[in-house]
């Protein structure tokens, strides 16, 4: 019972506002780092345009950048497995097959 209370106290409730839920489209990421942080700039490049603006910047500690890298690798692996399974079943890939399920 005590361990269960402790586990529940470590949970974080994450709130996603409607505005943030819309997301920001980016088709280019520029990553730089220093001794103490990683900077991820997400940019939308429009074909034929001379300039592109950074749409959002995320600054992470090296530890959190590494956790993000592992989470991305894991999700890409899962995506690839789902895509391969969908192709083997000769069905058209469905968006719901790839929608996030709250795993990190």
**CA 98 remoteness from chain centre:** 13
> What phi and psi, each to the nearest 5 degrees, are found at residue 10?
-85, -10
- The predicted pLDDT at position 88 comes to 77
- The predicted pLDDT at position 45 comes to 95
For residues 66 and 45, membership in a common domain is answered with: no
- The predicted pLDDT at position 89 comes to 74
- The predicted pLDDT at position 86 comes to 78
The number of folded domains in the chain is 2
Residue in this structure with the two tokens 């083997």, named with its chain if needed: 88
Q: Is residue 28 part of a domain?
A: yes
- The predicted pLDDT at position 13 comes to 94
Cα–Cα separations (whole angstroms), residue 84 to 2, 9, 79, 80, 97: 43, 39, 9, 6, 12
- The predicted pLDDT at position 98 comes to 64
Measured distance CA(26)–CA(28) in Å, rounded: 6
* Domain, as residue range, for 71: 62-104
Q: Is residue 2 part of a domain?
A: no
Give me the residues of the chain with pLDDT under 70, please. 1-8, 90-100, 102-104
Q: Is residue 71 part of a domain?
A: yes
For residues 37 and 67, membership in a common domain is answered with: no
Q: Is residue 5 part of a domain?
A: no
- The predicted pLDDT at position 1 comes to 53
Q: Is residue 17 part of a domain?
A: no
For residues 66 and 104, membership in a common domain is answered with: yes
């Amino acid at each position: 019972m005590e361990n269960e209370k402790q586990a529940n106290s470590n949970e974080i409730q994450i709130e996603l506002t409607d505005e943030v839920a819309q997301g920001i489209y980016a088709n280019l990421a520029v990553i730089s780092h220093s001794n103490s942080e990683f900077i991820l700039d997400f940019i939308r490049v429009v074909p034929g345009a001379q300039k592109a603006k950074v749409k959002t910047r995320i600054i992470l500690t090296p530890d959190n950048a590494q956790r993000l890298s592992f989470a991305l690798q894991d999700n890409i692996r899962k995506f690839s497995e789902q895509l391969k399974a969908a192709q083997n079943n000769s069905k058209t890939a469905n968006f719901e097959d790839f929608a996030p399920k709250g795993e990190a």
